[in-house]
Amino acid sequence: MNGLKNKIEAHNATAAVIGLGYVGLPLAMEIVAAGFDVIGIDLDTNKIATLKQRTSYILDVPDKSIAAAVGAGKFTPTADFSALANADTVSICVPTPLSKSRDPDISFILSATEEIRKYLHPGQLIVLESTTYPGTTDELIVPELERSGLKIGSDFCVAFSPERIDPGNAKFNTRNTPKIVGGITVECTEIARLFYSQFIDKVIPVSSTKCAEMVKLLENTFRSVNIGMVNELALM
């Protein structure tokens, strides 16, 4: 994986972001701002068309950022997953809504992983950012990607780094919000830390993917409990 490390440090790596919503698009723009080429993938053809017209549909991303990135050839929006064949890093930022039974709907994660597996090649870093339950990366992402015949740690790396976007927050954005990363192996954690540290001010490595997944679950629970408590106090 030394080749990937060298590419990241030289900002010669091509990054792919799957899911260009309120998480993925700001992330893509930060990666572009750091000097990397970025492939943005989304199945919503209306989003792709809008981006190709150099217009943003996300509050936190101004039109001028899209126009500059697309105009300079640094950002390529597409609905074609075959573009992943040219990617050195892949960040999965797809939604994980709750189902009718209040269980997490991970179908978008599974679909994205299946597409990644088709174009997986040695020297790639795959990072899941979507909010999910502890164990998702180890139990679902890893087995699917290893169906390619490639091995984690020696051929490619996998990590979990939860998105922490607060849409519309003028003080905290993608760059200055601390980022948690946890890899399948020690080297996976280090390569993910190295990648994100190129465009995030503070990156915090943790012991495993499950730990990183639990951090996100705790953060969401903490926020929800406090919102609920303040609402009850307001009623009193």
Nearest by Cα to 58 from 94, 29, 96, 95: 29
- Could you tell me the strand order of the sheet in which 156-160 lies? 75-78, 37-41, 14-18, 89-92, 124-128, 156-160, 179-183, 203-205
- Band (pLDDT 50/70/90 cuts) for residue 167 is confident
Average pLDDT for residues 177-181, to the nearest whole number?
Answer: 97
Q: What pLDDT is attached to residue 100?
A: 80
Mean pLDDT across the chain, nearest whole number?
Answer: 96
Whole-number pLDDT of residue 168: 87
Mean pLDDT of 201-206: 98
Q: What is the pLDDT of residues 78-122, one digit of tens each?
A: 999 999 999 999 999 999 998 788 888 999 999 999 999 999 999
**Residues of the chain above pLDDT 70, percent:** 100
Q: Quote the CA–CA distance of 37 and 186 in Å, as a whole number.
A: 26
What predicted TM-score, i.e. pTM, was given to this entire model? 0.94
Angle, CA 177 vertex, CA 132 and CA 120 arms, to 5°: 50
pLDDT in tens, 146-157: 999 999 999 999
Q: State how far the Cα of 24 lies from the Cα of 80, in Å rounded to an integer.
A: 16
pLDDT at 128 over 90: yes
Strands (E) in 48-118, as ranges, are 75-78, 89-92
Q: What is residue 95's predicted lDDT score, i.e. its pLDDT?
A: 94
* Average pLDDT for 70-83: 98
Closest CA to 153 of 124, 122, 185, 129: 185
Query: For residue 68, what are its two tokens?
Result: 């500059």
Domain boundaries, the chain: 2-235
Q: Spelled out in words, what is the top-level CATH class assigned to the domain 2-235?
A: alpha beta
Query: What's the average model confidence in pLDDT over 42-61?
Result: 97
Average the pLDDT over 160-179 and give the result: 93
